Amino acid sequence: MTAGEGAVRFNVRLQPRSSRSGVEGMHGDALKVRVHAPPVEGAANEALVAVLAEALGVAKGAVRVVAGAASRNKVVEVAGVTREAVLALAG
């Protein structure tokens, strides 16, 4: 996890087509997030952005997938949050 210039970047392990959506804690060095959406045409990435934005209390526009758009392992950048806020999601 890296923080700088008003944004935090961290690894995410995404599980699409889950029966529920939400942050599930840690999976190795990545934050595990489940979404109901399938990994088709960016639907899972959009759902990931929505879940993280709601969990961190920021607008969807503040959350970006910066690497791994076609993979379950992603790097996400969130503007306007602290490193501690992201760590709190991990439980």
What's residue 48's pLDDT? Answer: 97
pLDDT single digits (tens) 46-58: 999 999 999 999 9
**pTM, 2 dp:** 0.93
Structure tokens at 79: 């503007």
Say which residues have a Cβ less than 8 Å from residue 59's Cβ, sequence separation at least 6. Answer: 53
Report how far residue 56's alpha carbon sits from residue 42's, in angstroms, rounded to the nearest whole number.
Answer: 21
Q: Which domains does the chain have, with CATH numbers?
A: 2-89 (3.30.1200.10)
pLDDT band at 90, cuts 50/70/90? Answer: confident
